[in-house]
Amino acid sequence: MKEATKKLLDKAAHAIHAAQVLQKEGEIDFAAGRAYYAMFYVASALLNEKGLGFKKHGGVHAAFGEHFSKSGGLDPKFHRWLLDAFARRIQGDYHVEIALNPEEVSRMIEQAREFKAEAEKYLEKPGQE
């Protein structure tokens, strides 16, 4: 595994932890943002192993869909979770009238945890890049 991939997965683990802490403190919108970023770092780590890097979120989203969901490398649900989490992060960061609910943020954190675990399993398989 490439060093940058390991660092991105570590960053994802820290983002999951931060999301849990923020959620516990009642900072639901900010917890959603950290849960999204955990998924973003996981997707970026997987793409990094293929030698792909992107400057924009949309590039990561599209490339992850192409290289991992459509190809059958990983369950397409992870792509859907990434896109849904992005939409919720946008809501939490930019909309003052719309509040995210704690249950959906708990689900996002759990999805981020599952996505990371599945990515690590995928990367441990021989011949994966």
Q: Is 19:111 a contact under the CB 8 Å cutoff? A: no
State the CATH number of the domain containing residue 99. Answer: 1.20.120.330
Burial annotation 12-21 (CB, 10 A radius, 16+ → b, else e): bbebbebbbe
The pLDDT tens digits of the residues spanning 52-68 come to 999 899 999 999 999 99
Structural domains in the chain (count): 1
- pLDDT-derived band at 76, boundaries 50, 70, 90: very high
Q: Note whether residue 128 is domain-resident.
A: no
For residue 76, the SS3 value is: coil
Residue recorded with tokens 């820290």: 14
Q: Has residue 87 got a pLDDT over 60?
A: yes
DSSP H stretches of helix in the chain: 3-24, 28-49, 57-64, 77-94, 102-124
For 92, the domain range is 3-123
Q: Note whether residue 92 is domain-resident.
A: yes
The pLDDT tens digits of the residues spanning 88-123 come to 998 888 877 767 889 999 999 999 999 999 999 999
